[in-house]
Amino acid sequence: MTTGGSQIPAGRPPGPRDAVEPPRAGASAKPRSEPARPAPAPRDEGRPRPPSLGGGEPAQGRALGRQGQRTVRKLLEAGLVEFDERGFQAVRVDDVVRRANTSHGTFYLYFSNKDDLFKTLLRDALDAMQVITEDFPVVTRNESGKTALRHWVHRFCDVYAAHATVIRILSQADVVAEEVYGDGLQMLFRLAEAITQGMTAGAGAGAAADPGAPQPSDGSGARSEHAELTAVACLMMLERVNYLFSVEVRLPRAEMEDRLSAIMYAAFHLA
């Protein structure tokens, strides 16, 4: 897979697929009758609706009314709880329709199978990740740059928390289809590229604004030889810490966000 930067390996990046599995039923204090994270919900009037409300493959090409969207939402919420409690492989369509209190016939009006339902949930996660990818700031070599990066890290953590169950499953390449894992991998590389651009452009911008500021290690403020790999490493760090948050490992989130942004800042020789 090409990634737009020669330094990013085309293969699967280390880390996510080798993660320890999340705690099984009974190992967590989390109530088992509730989803781990917020399920898809209606947007405020005038705001874009979640992509998932269009349903899966059988629903494509036809407009869904309010009742149809409510049914899709109910099935997605049920699927999200089942995936969180049982894990992707153990879930059956039977489990989803039972929790949603609907029929198999209704399910197949909107989704082809559980894989299709998961891909529909994934559309919301990828959509949210795309928004923060596009919003990665130019991180300048000053306090404003540090503040902008810290704010972005906080937003990343919020997005991960909102879609944690889906992202955890996606990170396990052996349990989802190659096509689905590939969608997540492409998003990872787009996000890594945005981090690379924002961090390296910021080094040059900061140096130009403040000639007395320390110069970046490559002497120019331009993208260094290993900037893309540094971005991937920072992204893997962000993902793993948020994975721990999502399985309820007790970590002080605000302090961790401070440390994550400080590490990223230093990794690109901005400190």
- Give tens-digit pLDDT for 196-229: 999 998 665 544 444 444 444 444 444 556 899 9
> Which pLDDT score is estimated for 71?
96
Tokens 């990343």, residue located: 156
Of 213, 210, 192, the closest CA to residue 264 belongs to 192
Specify the pTM: 0.75
Map out the domains of the chain with their CATH numbers: 34-120 (1.10.10.60), 135-271 (1.10.357)
Grade residue 172 by pLDDT with cuts at 50, 70 and 90: confident
Q: CA–CA separation, 66 vs 72, rounded Å?
A: 10
Q: What is the pLDDT of residues 13-60, one digit of tens each?
A: 444 334 434 444 444 344 344 444 444 444 444 456 788 999 999 999
d(CA 224, CA 231): 11
Q: What are 65-122's pLDDT values in tens digits?
A: 999 999 999 999 999 999 999 999 999 999 999 999 999 999 999 999 999 999 999 9
Euclidean distance between CA atoms 179 and 176, whole angstroms: 8
Q: How far is it, in rounded angstroms, from Cα 75 to Cα 149?
A: 37
Burial letters 5-26, b for 16+ CB under 10 A, else e: bebbeeeebebbeeeeebeeee
Across 167-176, average pLDDT:
82
